Amino acid sequence: MAAMTMIQALRSAMDVMLERDPNVVVFGQDVGYFGGVFRCTEGLQAKHGSARVFDAPISEGGIVGAAVGMGAYGLRPVAEIQFADYFYPASDQIVSEAARLRYRSVGDFTAPITIRMPCGGGIYGGQTHSQSPEALFTHVCGLRTLMPSNPYDAKGLLISAIECDDPVIFLEPKRLYNGPFDGHHDRPIVPWSAHALGEVPDGHYRVALESAAVFRAGRALTVLTYGTMVFVSEAAAIETGIDAEIIDLRSLWPLDLAAIVNSVKKTGRCVIVHEATRTCGFGAELAALVQEHCFYHLEAPIERVTGWDTPYPHALEWDYFPGPARVAAALRRAMEP
Amino acid sequence: MASQPQPQRQEQALRLHVPEPSARPGQHTDFSYLHLSDAGAVRRPPIDVAPADTHDLATALVRVLGEDGCAHGPWVPPLAPEQLVRGLRAMLKTRIFDARMLIAQRQKKMSFYIQSLGEEAIACAHALALVDGDMCFPTYRQQGLLLARDDVPLVPLICQLLSNERDPLKGRQLPVMYSMKRAGFFSISGNLATQFIQAVGWAMASAIKGDTKIASAWIGDGATAEADFHTALTFAHVYRAPVILNVVNNQWAISTFQAIAGGEGTTFAGRGVGCGIASLRVDGNDFLAVYAASSWAAERARGNLGPTLIEWISYRAGPHSTSDDPSKYRPADDAARFPLGDPIARLKTHLIALGAWSEEQHAALQRELETEIGAAQKEAERFGTLADGHAPPLASMFEDVYREMPPHLHAQLRQLQEAKG
């Protein structure tokens, strides 16, 4: 075990997989010699060589299209999109190609590729470096969409993603790269070294796909969330004193429906929290699933706390971000009889 | 205050240029825009030529078969008459297959069909230049790549077209969107140009692994306007990928003339040179030229010399698909007046000139292929057609979305089964 940031944990996952499987390759913009703008691939080219860890032209469509071809060949490419906000030029290759290649060819060809992309705001990135586009991926049949919230899960899930034979969208909440950010942006940064989930095994291990984690056990109310909002929700629970059970979904789709249903049936109340815009966000699907499966157990309307339906603003970032105060207000509303 | 000197004002109104073909229905196309070279007139550089030194080859036209039916010049390939007969057979088989399937579509046995009429030489000759293990990333008009092979039986192909219970693709794909990994034929998407960059990625993988396999990517003139074409050229050049980048310029993308794709006053092969890729412009209706250029490009790829872009000049003699009616937008006599002629007729004339073929043999071959294809069609129809409800089982709709069927798809399959009773 070692204390790792999320960046170090992700790097360790790629390092372990490059070591174990000669078919793993890592590429993307700036990921080679330099090691990535967030340093997630630092040192990997020097260690594994430039035929397996290399820079790509500034072409997201090209990066994913080439990854699909490599996957069809038999490699397991790990492609980095520098910011999730930049994936749009690759949409056709993700939605029409990677996600449906197995289906349309009846397994003759597959795309066992992992597409990593940093997402979320809170770093003054403005409207082109802050988005959380997970719902655009969860809507696509054939993709797996993951979002870890801590170094331990980040490494174990990335290893599972690379080993998975399906195409995986791996969203990394960049505000969590260096510490468990709880939404109090005016307070000192807490490093991962001060958190239990920053303790990460050095070698190979997996975190199972389609498996949610009970991040905080509770009996009064269920919070369904993922990524940065796990820690924001925890702060809100502590500050309100509400005995909230926080479910960290980790795998957004396909997801761990049993974990959701079991918790909501137990608590009878549900708050859904995500950073992405509200309308047709992933929270809408979660709310629909909860009412389909838990309707007779619900004692209050389902609450959603999300980003506003606006582009991610620069100067007003913290008014956009669904921080602990907004989550706390939703927890209190959900507790009204 | 002294007035500032003013630039002379242009009073002319600006105009948007929207390219038009030289002729529409009822008129005669002026094919001088094609800029042809004589057979044998274009040089054949060594395979290690610097890409920048292929500029002239990207604007000229590599041709071997002349009007006299003879092979001319430095690109004459070392093919024995038996190999030429094999090529003729592949082209004829493709043409007869297409004609038969077109009729089956008109009989509503299949929903849709796409012929390769007039373009058979490109796929059939290219197939002879590749070896087992290589991978083509085709469009929907390269069925000749499959039909040129002796190891691809016709019945499964026809079952795919009929979407019947033996359809290897389980009725998931439109007819013609074949997939056959073992025959080096990548799954056809239907979304244009996506396969071009995928072929480059596949070729990069072969190089990463230190293997010897090469990729061959296919695209039409129209789809070169897609971003994936340009990213493919960039990636192929950057990583010197072992790939052949084929642009089939058949002059028409559904109803749009190749000038709308950006072919006016320039060539698609020229795009390659601009990207640092060795590029050729080749007579796509000349079986010998297609084979020679394909072999040159394949040898470059296998020798770690990088990608080659080849623009094949041809003419889409039929409609885009069975959903298209070209009489609405182009002259009906275009195909007959196309200056590069018909690929089957040209190779046949050449073989007869060589003394290796005769009208009688040609007629016999045609009868033999018609019998073979007719028998295969009859056999395939035993397993149903789209018209008679022999569809694949319901569960197959939910399989292969993921490697293992996740719980939500199991639930949805149950819902469908309950709804059907």
Residues of A that are catalytic: 129
Q: What is the pLDDT of residues A14-40, one digit of tens each?
A: 999 999 999 999 999 999 999 999 999
The pLDDT, as a whole number, for residue B389 is 77
Number of domains in chain B: 1
Between chains, do A65 and B198 touch, taking CB under 8 Å as contact? yes
Counting one residue from A and one from B, how many pairs have CB atoms under 8 Å apart?
A: 139
B413 pLDDT tier (thresholds 50, 70, 90): very high
Tell me if B194 and A93 make a contact (CB, 8 A cut-off).
Answer: yes
Q: How many of the other CB atoms lie within 10 Å of CB of B277?
A: 25
Coil, helix or strand for A221?
Answer: strand
What DSSP line would sit under A147-204, residue for residue?
A: ---SHHHHHHHHHHHHH-SS-EEEEEEGGGSSS---S-TTSPPPPGGGSGGGEE-SS-
Q: How confident is the model at residue A74 (pLDDT cuts 50, 70, 90)?
A: very high
**Strands A221-225, A213-216: pairing kind:** unpaired
Residue B2 has pLDDT above 70, yes or no: no
DSSP B159: H
**What whole-number distance in Å separates Cα of residue A2 and Cα of residue B360?**
81
Cα separation, B355 vs B313, whole angstroms: 28
The share of chain A scoring above pLDDT 70, in percent, equals 100
Question: Which is higher by pLDDT, A198 or B6?
Answer: A198
Q: In which residue are the tokens 């969330």 written? A: A225
Q: What percent of chain A lies above the pLDDT cut of 90?
A: 100
Of B181, B202, B233, which to mutate for an interface test with A (greatest number of A Cβ within 10 Å)?
B202
Record: contact B187-A104, CB cut-off 8 A: yes
CA-to-CA distance for A35 and B394, rounded, in angstroms? 48
Residue B87, pLDDT score: 98
Locate the chain B residue with the closest alpha carbon to A101. B187
> pLDDT value at position A87?
98
Q: Are B158 and B376 in contact (CB under 8 A)?
A: yes
Q: Using CA atoms, how far apart are residues B191 and B197, in angstroms rounded to an integer?
A: 13
Looking at residue A116, its pLDDT comes to: 98
How large is the average pLDDT for residues B182-204?
98
- On the 0-12 / 13-18 / 19+ scale of CB atoms within 10 A, A337 is exposed
- Asked whether residue B18 is assigned to any structural domain, the reply reads no
DSSP H or E stretch at residue A216: strand A213-216
* A67, A96, A101 ranked by CB distance to B201: nearest: A67
Closest CA to B234 of B309, B342, B162: B309
- Give which of A150, A130, A334 is closest to A250, Cα–Cα: A150
User: At B152, is the pLDDT very low, low, confident or very high (cuts 50, 70, 90)?
Assistant: very high
At residue B415, the pLDDT reads 97
User: Does residue B38 fall inside a structural domain?
Assistant: yes
Report whether pLDDT(B9) > 80: no
A133-152: string of b/e by CB count within 10 Å (b at 16+)? bbbbbbebebbbbbbbbbbb
pLDDT one-digit tens code per residue, B14-39: 999 999 999 999 999 999 999 999 99
Structure-derived torsion over alpha carbons of residues B282, B284, B286, B289, reported in degrees to the nearest 10:
40
Q: With bands split at pLDDT 50, 70 and 90, how would you rate the model's confidence at B390?
A: confident
Residues of chain B with pLDDT > 70, as a percent, come to 98
When CB atoms are compared, the residue of B177, B179, B198 closest to A97 is: B198
Cβ atoms within 10 A of the Cβ of B232, count? 36
Report the mean per-residue pLDDT for chain B.
96
Contacts of B205 in chain A (CB under 8 A): 25, 69-70, 73-75
Whether B186 sits inside 8 A of A109 (CB atoms) is yes
Q: Tokens representing B411?
A: 């639930």
The mean per-residue pLDDT over the stretch B47-57 comes to: 98
Question: For A69, which of B181, B205, B209 is closest by C-beta distance?
Answer: B205
The verdict on residue B359 lying in a domain is yes
Provide the residue type at A48 as one letter.
Answer: H
- Rounded to two decimals, the pTM is 0.97
In whole angstroms, give the CA distance from residue A265 to residue B239: 55
Of A103, A164, A257, the CB nearest to B400: A103
Q: Quick: pLDDT tens for B88-108.
A: 999 999 999 999 999 999 999
Give the pLDDT band (50/70/90) at residue B302.
very high
Looking at the predicted structure, is the pLDDT value of residue A167 above 90?
A: yes
Question: Exposed, middle or buried: residue B108 (CB in 10 Å: 0-12, 13-18, 19+)?
Answer: exposed
pLDDT at residue B8, as a whole number: 72
* pLDDT the model gives residue B123: 98
- Give the tens place of pLDDT for each residue, A183-223: 999 999 999 999 999 999 999 999 999 999 999 999 999 99
Tell me which DSSP letter residue A38 carries. T
pLDDT in tens, B240-260: 999 999 999 999 999 999 999
Distance CA A316, CA A320 (A): 6
pLDDT at B11: 87
Query: Tell me, what CATH number does B52's domain have?
Result: 3.40.50.970
Query: Which ranges in B118-268 belong to alpha helices (H)?
Result: 120-129, 144-147, 154-162, 194-209, 227-238
Question: Measured between CA atoms, how close is B236 to chain A, in angstroms?
Answer: 10
Residue A307 tokens read as 């980003």
| Whole-number pLDDT of residue B271 | 98
**Domains (ranges, CATH) in chain A?**
2-200 (3.40.50.970), 213-335 (3.40.50.920)
In a domain, B400, yes or no: no
Within a domain: B399:
no
CA distance B215 to chain A (A): 10
Banded pLDDT at B1 (limits 50, 70, 90): low
* Contact yes or no for A185/A230 (Cβ under 8 A): no
pLDDT at B214 over 60: yes
How far is residue B139's CA from residue B176's CA, in Å, rounded to a whole number? 10
Mean of pLDDT values over B331-341: 97
Residue B2 within a domain: no
Task: Write phi, then psi, for A172 (nearest 5 degrees).
Answer: -115, 110
CB contact under 8 A, A73 and B201: yes
Closest residue in B to A65 (Cα) is B198
How far A56 CA lies from chain B's nearest CA (Å)?
8
Residue B416 located in a structural domain: no
Residues of A in contact with B204 (CB under 8 A): 66, 69-70
Distances (CA, A) of B280 to A209, B40, B218, B339: 49, 14, 15, 19
Q: Which residues are CB-contacts of A312 (< 8 A; sequence separation ≥ 6)?
A: A121, A125, A126, A127, A130, A131, A320
Lookup result for tokens 């000192």: A188
Q: What does the pLDDT average to over A213-242? A: 98
Q: Tell me the pLDDT band of B392, cut-offs 50, 70 and 90.
A: confident
Question: In three state form, how does the secondary structure of B130-154 look?
Answer: CCECEEEECCCCCCHHHHCCCCCCH
What gap in Å lies between CA B121 and CA B334, rounded to an integer? 19
Domain extent for B386: 32-321+332-390
